[in-house]
Amino acid sequence: MPENNNLNESNETTPAQEQSKPAQGNGFVGIGCILIFIAIFAWGMYKGALNRDEAKKQLAAKNIQIIDSSVIDAIKKGDAETLKQLMLAGANPEAKGENDSSALILAATENKTEMVKAILSRTEKVNYKNADGVSALIAAAGANNTEIVKMLLEKKADVNSRDNSGTTPLMIAAERANIEILKLLMDKGADVSLKNNKGETAMTLAKADNIKEALKSPSKPTAGAQGGTVPTELVKPVDIEKLSPAEARKTLDGLKIPYNDNRFVEAASKNETEAVALFIKAGLHPNTKNIEGVNTLMTASIAGNNDMIKFLVSKNANVNARDKSERTALMMAAENSKLDTVKLLLSLGADAKAKDKKGKTALDFASNAEIKKAVSEAMAK
């Protein structure tokens, strides 16, 4: 009887078949990983939809429509919470306001760091210019906001952007003696040789000695991953904490910043951190008032300069100090629609129940519903 070779072959496993078994196992593992990835992705989409729906509900409760004008209004009012909700709900992050300024330009101009973050989370268009040729980076440099400048540069903002007068961010930083922003711009390859429409360069606009020295040591162009430049030598910012009062005073003189109460208070309003730190090191206290009876914390609160407020409080600024009308920084922030600032001041111990000479509290000065809510909750504690 002939052998059944087919039967024998079916009962035997060849080396090739043995090798195929692990491969099949790996295939199942691969499919499993893909399924897990799909599940995670689906959950992320579902969670995002939930956040979007929740944002829409919150906006509806405040009778706020998801339209361009709502985005612009939120920025003007300093209402970061509403802006974030609008972005989550799908509002246009490139909405335009007065002078054809985009939401990003307006937020940068108004020194609204959190708002800029919210807008940048929804758009990559950072180089748009308004009717005056101003970009978000130019606006941020004008506002002396180092954090916003950093965020925009990370998003590949044009470091040599020019407005209609030919002004660049570097020229603004040089003229305003902002060494931090100047260094950031030069690190990204800002062109020190560019001229504005009057023929002025960053160097001719610079008045402070440390700025002039920094401009003399520009980055050497070397090939980078994105065709950019790599800095070789930049002037280091002054280590203010190590200065003596006399050295701080001398540094202010070198920056051509007059040493007086009015200029000190003005520096806080303009978010000039280095200048404020030098004034304090030279001997002025954060509670020092200008001729109008207003101190640094008050002007910083009016402008919504939250980082400046934190710095001043760390230097023992009195969060409940009063001006000539017995008004506090909290009242001023509430009146000027600075919601984030109101919340910050309350967290730092601002007295929500304090009254001015007319018996008004921060609640009476509150300019919108969100600020009234924040102050009311603080008063109820």
Q: In this predicted model, what pLDDT tens digit does every residue of 278-305 receive, in sequence order?
A: 999 999 999 999 888 999 999 999 989 9
pLDDT at 45 over 50: no
pLDDT at 106: 96
168 closest CA partner among 185, 152, 187: 185
Residue with tokens 């407005």: 163
281 closest CA partner among 307, 310, 251, 308: 251
Tell me the DSSP string of 195-223: --TTS--HHHH--SHHHHHHHTSPPBP--
Phi-psi region of 271 (alpha: psi -120 to 50; beta: other; left: phi over 0): left
pLDDT at 145 over 70: yes
Between CA 105 and CA 72 the distance in angstroms is 11
pLDDT at 230: 30
Q: Which residues contact 130 (CB under 8 A, 6 or more apart)?
A: 99, 100, 101, 102, 105
Helix, strand, or coil (residue 136): helix
Percent of the chain with pLDDT over 90: 61
Q: Which residues contact 338 (CB under 8 A, 6 or more apart)?
A: 78, 301, 302, 304
Q: Which residues contact 319 (CB under 8 A, 6 or more apart)?
A: 297, 313, 328, 329, 330, 345, 348, 349, 350
Contact between 261 and 289 (Cβ < 8 Å): yes
More confident residue, 124 or 349: 349
pLDDT at 7: 42
pLDDT at 271: 86
**136-to-120, 125, 313, 315 alpha-carbon distances in Å:** 11, 10, 29, 31
pLDDT by residue (tens digit) across 198-219? 999 999 999 888 899 899 875 4
Domains identified in the chain and CATH numbers: 33-124 (1.25.40), 239-381 (1.25.40.20)
At 235, is the pLDDT very low, low, confident or very high (cuts 50, 70, 90)?
very low
At 87, is the pLDDT very low, low, confident or very high (cuts 50, 70, 90)?
very high
